Amino acid sequence: MSENLRPHIGITMDAGKPDEKCKLMELPVDYVESVIKAGGLPILLPWTKDPAVRAQLLALVDGLLIPGGNDLDPHLYGQEKHPETKLTAKERQDFDFAMLALAEQRQLPTLGICMGCQTMNVQRQGTLHQHLPELDPPADAPNLQHRKPGDRTNAHDVTIRPQTMLAGAMKLDALPTNSRHHQGIAKVGHGLVASAFAPDGLVEAVEDPTLPFWVAVQWHPENLFGSPHERLFQALVEAARKHRDARQR
C-alpha cells in the first residue's frame, strides 16, 4: 500500500515581516505546488531551536527541500558583511543548517534552491561571493547580470556537467534558467562537486556524488512550470520514494 502513498517532502520555512510585532513563518506557494505536481506530499517544517523537535520533524519526511531566501551571515564562511548583503533571519538560518546535518546523517534525499544551494555549500565549508556585480568575468566570458532588480524574467543558459545527478535528473546537458541572485558560490564545499555553470563560469549547481540524492541549484525551478525544470522535483520525489521504501523493508 505504501507504494501508492505520496512521499513526504519536508520544506523549511522563511521568516516573514512581523505582523503587529508577531513573528511570522512563510513559504512561497510555488514550492508546495511543484512538490505536489511531482507526486510528493509537502510537509512544512517550522523552525525551532529544540534539537529533539528538529529530529522528530525530520523523522516525519522522506526528503528535504531547502528553499530560497535572503543572504547567509558571511561570518559563517570567514568574511565581513558586505553592504549589499541582506541577512536572513537567524532562526531560519540555524534551523536549515541543523536540518541539513540531520538529513546528511540519515542520507535523506535533499534539494537546495537559491539560498538553499548556498546554505548546502557553506554547510560543507564552502564560501560565497557576496555581491556578484563586483566580480570581473574572465576575459573570454560574457558579462552576465545574474539579477536585475524588479525583473523576475532575467535569464541565462546553464551547462550541466555530464554523468552527474543533476544531468540524470534533467536529462539535458544545457538549458535556459531564470536568474535573480546577487550572491553565488566561490569555493565549492568539502565533498561537493560543481554540476552546472553559467556562461561566465559561475557555479550554478553542486551535489555530493557519494549520497543517494544531494543536489542544489542556484536558479528557481519552482517558478518554471511546464518546463524541463519540473524534472528536478520529480527526481527528488522519486529519490524520497526509494528512501522511504528501503526504510520500511
Taking residue 39's Cβ as centre, other Cβ atoms within 10 Å add up to 16
Residue ranges making up the domain that contains 177: 2-248
pLDDT for position 20: 72
Q: What is the DSSP string of the chain?
A: -GGGSPPEEEEE-EEEEEETTEEEEE--HHHHHHHHHTT-EEEEE---S-HHHHHHHHHT-SEEEE---SBPPGGGGT-PPPTT--BPPHHHHHHHHHHHHHHHHTT--EEEETHHHHHHHHHTT--EES-GGGPPPPTTS----S-BTTBTT-EEEEEEPTTSHHHHHH--SEEEEE---S-EESSPPTT-EEEEE-TTS-EEEEE-TTSSSEEEESS-GGG-TTSTTHHHHHHHHHHHHHHHHHHH-
Sign of torsion over alpha carbons 183, 172, 152, 237: negative
Q: Rounded to whole angstroms, how far apart are CA atoms 76 and 26? A: 24
Q: Which residue has the higher pLDDT, 1 or 60?
A: 60
* pLDDT surpassing 50 at residue 1: no
CATH number of residue 196's parent domain: 3.40.50.880
pLDDT for position 22: 87
pLDDT for position 49: 97
* Total of domains in the chain: 1
For 158, the grid coordinates are: 546553464
Q: Rounded to whole angstroms, how far apart are CA atoms 68 and 117? A: 8
Model pLDDT for residues 134-171, shown as the tens digit of each residue: 887 776 767 778 877 777 788 899 999 999 999 999 99
pLDDT, the chain, mean: 94
> What average pLDDT does range 21-43 have in this prediction?
96
* pLDDT surpassing 90 at residue 94: yes
Q: Provide the annotated active-site residues.
A: 114, 220, 222
For 68, the grid coordinates are: 530560497
